[in-house]
Amino acid sequence: MSARLNETHDPALTSWVESANSGTSDFPIQNLPFCVFRRLGSGEPFRGGVAIGDQVVDLAALGDAFDGAARTALALGAQSSLNALMAAGPPAWSALRLALSRFLRSGAPARPAVLVSQAEAEYGVPARIGDYTDFYTSIHHATSVGKLFRPDEPLLPNYKWVPIGYHGRASTIGVSGQDFRRPIGQTRSGSGNEPQFGPCTRLDYELEVGIFVGRGNVQGEAIEAGQAEEHVFGLCLLNDWSARDIQAWEYQPLGPFLSKNFATTIAPWIVTIEALAPYRAAWQRDAADPQPLPYLDYPALRTRGGFDIELEVLIETETMRRDGVPPARISQSNFRHSYWSVAQLVAHHTVNGCALQAGDLLGSGTQSGPDAAEAGSLLELSAGGKQALTLPNGEQRVFLEDGDRIVMRGWTGRTGLPRIGFGEVAGMVLPAR
């Protein structure tokens, strides 16, 4: 487990960027998440940036501000994607984080010329994503969904032994603000023998955490669980949109296909594993459950294998926008409920010799908690479409309607430590073509 506490985590640190010191910002100096951005509408090249308060540090504008390893890492981070920085590994990431922390601290010379207001920026997908794998790490989600379709055996016997995942589609991953058309495909009603073709009618969101791979591995050489986080650059918010009616017809026997690959939306900000070091959580497994096989076990798993990250979902309908009503929260959960850890996902993905590359993205799967209000999808909140969800303005939803905008947020904090956040990931459903 590579990330340890150091001077960058000091809760007393403040910044000369005053908006970072509010106590309510997602981006205090203890966070420093990475993105790829440019000035809104400028046509400038995209380049790497780091959030501080309500500003973005333009890494390309820092020039020769740093020395040694930090200077080398800065040049990698200033490129049009973060892949080269991701591939450089933990020593480079830590050197750049330390240099940025010292550069931005109160008492250091203020250099506002290297800042761009987040309100005046537009963001790109932060890396060239070569491959995308979506996992199924919430036992609460797996059990809840299983009860809808297999009440006699809601949780299949392999779930507690092996991290379940499927291969997604990297080409349709977009950054927050993504608008997408309602997907079209084959569905079949329970009463009919032949499928119908047309727009999806059971469109859903999935509240997830994205995991960006840093240093890859050579094909044929597995990454050990105890060293797996040295291959993880950081975490982001992820919404894996799902067409439930298409999924129900196509998923047997090989799993999701067109029901999942039409759109996936991620937040622009990647919070590094090092930034999250003070906010680790114990990883828990019921004593009656099978314990991890040796290749999925490691010394730090049970004491700090998890992440204490609060996650919430809000909905904004067309009517709410028209009436000036703010988005309404419909669920809240926490990443610590995950049945499998981030390190276990990386180790399992490579145990057969599969090669991961810098910029590859892993999805955690829907993050639902043990309580009904912690469900990470409408499929669960509506009991499979049988119970409508009533919003504060009186509107009801079973699944998403055209014009609905989903916003997801994440944050973490503890007594005596600053709150750090993940920004937000938002996307809106447009009518089918």
Q: What is the pLDDT of residues 368-385, one digit of tens each?
A: 999 999 999 999 999 999
Per the annotation, does 260 bind a ligand? yes
**Could you confirm whether domain 7-124 is CATH 3.30.530.20?**
no
Per the annotation, the verdict on 141 as an active-site residue is yes
Q: Is the pLDDT of residue 2 over 60?
A: no
Identify the active-site residue in 9, 140, 141, 231: 141
Residue boundaries of the structural domains of the chain? 7-124, 132-430
The domain made up of 132-430 has a fold known as Fumarylacetoacetate hydrolase; domain 2 (3.90.850)
Per-residue burial over 222-243, b = 16 or more CB atoms within 10 Å of its CB, e = otherwise: bbebeebbbbbbbbbbbbbbbb
Tokens found for residue 119: 């309100």
Q: What is the pLDDT of residue 1?
A: 44
Per the annotation, does 251 bind a ligand? yes
Per the annotation, does 111 bind a ligand? no
Give the confidence band of 4 by pLDDT, cuts at 50, 70, 90: confident
Predicted confidence (pLDDT) per residue in 88-138, tens digit: 999 999 999 999 999 999 999 999 999 999 999 999 999 999 999 999 999
Per the annotation, does 297 bind a ligand? no
- DSSP single-letter state for residue 125: -
Burial class from Cβ neighbours inside 10 Å (0-12, 13-18, 19+) for residue 8 reads buried
